[in-house]
Copies of this chain bind each other. A is one copy, B any other.
Amino acid sequence: MILIGIDTALRCTGYGIIEISGKKYSAIDCGVIKNKPKIPLSECLHRLRGGIEEIIKLYRPQIAAIEGGYYFKNAQTAMVLGMARGTVVSILAREKIPIYEYAPRKAKQAVVGNGNATKDQVAHSVSQMLNLDIQQIPKDSTDAIALALCHAFISHSANGIYLKPPI
């Protein structure tokens, strides 16, 4: 089973691909899709779409886990992030990949045991779980890997009774 975790943002989207066989998890790839600040909005979305399409083509993930359940104070920020997320979700849906949403707190809780864990703590846990050198993991992809691991844990524990339906 190949899982993709995606931590979407307009300027820097992290992704992590993990493989599950039985109770063993291993990392296949992780990285970021970046858009420089000067690139116009439509071009950012175009590049994000292309990047996600390429990753899907390469690794053929069967399930996707994305960040969700945000609480925003600023509607403008929510709109821009929504545009990036919509781009990603519409491509995953086209490829018929079920998409599960996890709040950032939930993903941190799953991999560190603390919903308020720092980025460094998440990176540390993720590297240990997947037997990776922490230096090898791009900084902005650790949350994406955590999302994939979070889904793996929840779907395996208690026969998946805590699994919410895909979006």
List A residues at the B interface (Cβ < 8 Å): 40-43, 45-46, 48-50, 70-87, 89-90, 92-94, 99, 165-167
Q: Is the interface of A mostly helix, strand, loop or mixed?
A: helix
CB distance from A91 to the nearest CB of B (A): 8
In the complex, what residue of chain B is closest to A99 when comparing beta carbons? B42
Residues of B within 8 A of A72 (CB): 75-76, 78-79
Q: How far is the CA of A87 from the CA of B93 in the complex (A)?
A: 11
Closest to A98 in B: B42
A106 vs B84: C-alpha distance in the bound complex, in angstroms? Answer: 26
**Which residues of chain B come closer than 8 Å to A76, judged between CB atoms?**
72, 78
Q: What's the Cα separation between A5 and B23 when bound, in Å?
A: 51
Could you list some 9 contacts between A and B, CB below 8 A?
A40-B165, A41-B167, A42-B89, A42-B166, A46-B94, A48-B90, A49-B94, A78-B82, A79-B81
Residues of B within 8 A of A99 (CB): 42
Instruction: Say yes or no: A83 contacts B75, CB within 8 Å.
Output: no
CB-CB < 8 A to A81: which residues of B?
Answer: 79, 82
